[in-house]
A and B are shown apart, each in its own frame.
Chain A
Amino acid sequence: MREASAHFDEAQGALIASGVWHAEAASALPNVSGKTVRILDGAGVAELDTNGAWLLLTAARPRASDPMPELRAFQPQHLAMLNLVAQHAAATAAQTGPHREGMLELIGRSTLVVWANVVGLLGFVGQLFLELMTLLGHPGRWRWREFGTQLGSIFVGAIPIVAGMLFLLGVVFAYLLGDQALQFGANIFVVDGILLAVMREVSPVIVAVLVAGRTGAAITAQIGTMKVTDEIDAITTLGLSPLAVLVIPRMLALLIAMPLLVFIGDIAGVVGGMLVAQEQLDISYSIFRDRMVDVLELTTLLVGLCKAPVFAVFIALIACRMGLSVTRDARSVGANTTSTVVQSLVAIIVLNAMFAVTFVKLGI
């Protein structure tokens, strides 16, 4: 095979090509800008494909509206190739590149996306409420099996990670708190601190964050993939409601699983604290238990537990809605899954702050 080569003959106004003309031959083209190519000579061309033909033609006439150069001494099959490409050359004219967004446009667009998410969420809540009303009238349409499956993966599957995380956080809390308390000889108050921190704040928030990352992302990815493969449409066509079949079982499962997980987290956190108290602060298990019975109020536990279902509803709403709003490509599944986690985390932090203010105002 011969290397592609080409040179421009000034006297004839001819671009003379030879060798093998494939896509790689582009570098062999001489610079003919500003000159008029009247003749394209292909006597020495050994091979020519559509990419090669396009390169030669475009060099000879940069715009498809320019007059066609004379094609000289090409082999018949190469001539046919050039003519085929020339027919379609107009379509390859360079179009304006993708529009680049300025800062202002970006801010505006993002604001619209956030607004659309808020409005979309409200609309989704409305639809879901109507669906729930219908389901209350027809108890036979509840999807118990789906509910059971979801409860299994959301609750049972999350127990080890929740227990492990909260146990370690309990250890860290007790250790740092004990370090300070030791200086004042106020060891015993470490028990009060751990109970309050773990049950009221740490366990509900950490469990919600874990569930948002673990279950929320999974729900969006699953429903989103079903959307891409038309499964959601199939469910609708079978006369079923995707909300009743997919969304409500997941939401209910989350609603039940979350408080249970928070309770497990409470226990694990306190156990972690107990261990450190025993090792570091000479507070034996029995003293810890006695102190716990003295200072632990039921409201501390309940305040933590009552946050859980609220977080659960928001995570489920966000995850299911983002799943259903996936468009038909792989990238949007990824984008919506990310968005679910971000929206859920923001919702958890904001809700938790609202709870804190409310409880203080109520004096709880």
Chain B
Amino acid sequence: MAELVIDVQNVSTTLGGRSIHRDLSLSVARGEVIALIGGSGTGKSVLMREIIGLLKPQAGRIELFGQSVWDSTSEQMNTLRRRFGVLFQDGALFSSLTVEDNVATPLFEHTDLPHATCRQLARLKLALAGLPPDTAGKRPSELSGGMRKRVALARALALDPELLFLDEPTSGLDPISARAFDKLIRLLADSLGLTVFLVTHDLDTLFSIIDRVIVLSDGQVLGSGTLAELKHIDDPWLRDYFAARASEGETVHGN
């Protein structure tokens, strides 16, 4: 098996007296595009926050690139942070900066390149994310939701990370923009050799760009594999989940 990029072992989490994860383990190999799915409240976003070092689990071990996230010094953690990018659910762009400066911020902070070069690299990332050049000077508040997501993606890519975390990348986008965004992620993953870990509710994303799906249920990993493999798992939530897709397809045919 290829090198493990994410390795989560026996993680348990309790938030506000409620058990979220019980002895949960999963791993992601280099180059994989992985989707994490599960019903609302199964702790998908919590797990992602734990992996990127924002929330400490009560027990267990989390490793990124073979280095433990929660046993690292803050300096080691900062080096680690340069190797992954995060796209937050609603973009989390800095509203007081221009789009260009938003994307250039990681470069300003983590490299000693001249600021002019950082801005040029930021514009390259914006172009890679499929945004027209005139977006660069605008403010996040002047952009549509889809464009904000693209800017956030460009910012996540600023330092050319090896690993990309996406929290519901297509939520709030219309189906056409959502599919275009999916294609973009796949294109970038293939051409830049990224490992992508995404949390999603979007079935179309799963069917189009994902290598492997990990299903969370009841605080543990219910199953992991391609969509075809998952259909063999006998679980009421998973059955309903895929049934939603099937009935949706029928309605379309009916029309």
Q: Which A residues are within 8 Å of any B CB, using their own CB?
A: 22-24, 26-27, 49-52, 54-55, 58, 77, 80-81, 84-85, 88-89, 91-92, 94-95, 327-331
Contact = CB atoms under 8 A, between A and B. Distances in A.
B121 A92 contact: yes
Interface string B130-147: 000100110111000000
Nearest to B123: A92
Contact of A94 (B120, B160, B191): B120
A330 B95 contact: yes
B124 A329 contact: no
Contact of A23 (B123, B137, B141, B159): B159
Contacts of B222: none
Q: B interface, by DSSP: helix, strand, loop or mixed?
A: helix
B191 A80 contact: yes
B117 A26 contact: yes
A66 B133 CA distance: 19
A158 B127 CA distance: 54
B38 to A, nearest CB: 28
A15 to B, nearest CB: 17
A24 B111 contact: yes
B144 to A, nearest CB: 13
A51 B121 contact: yes
A85 B191 CA distance: 10
B128 A88 contact: yes
B113 interface: yes
B15 to A, nearest CB: 24
A95 B126 CA distance: 14
Contact of B160 (A27, A49, A84, A328): A49
Given A23-B160, A330-B95, A54 B193 contact: no
30 contacts: A23-B107, A23-B111, A24-B111, A24-B112, A26-B111, A26-B117, A50-B157, A50-B160, A51-B159, A51-B160, A54-B120, A55-B117, A77-B193, A80-B191, A81-B191, A81-B192, A84-B128, A84-B191, A88-B124, A88-B127, A91-B123, A91-B126, A91-B127, A95-B133, A95-B136, A95-B137, A328-B141, A329-B95, A329-B139, A330-B96
B125 interface: yes
B107 to A, nearest CB: 7
B141 A331 contact: no
B229 to A, nearest CB: 29
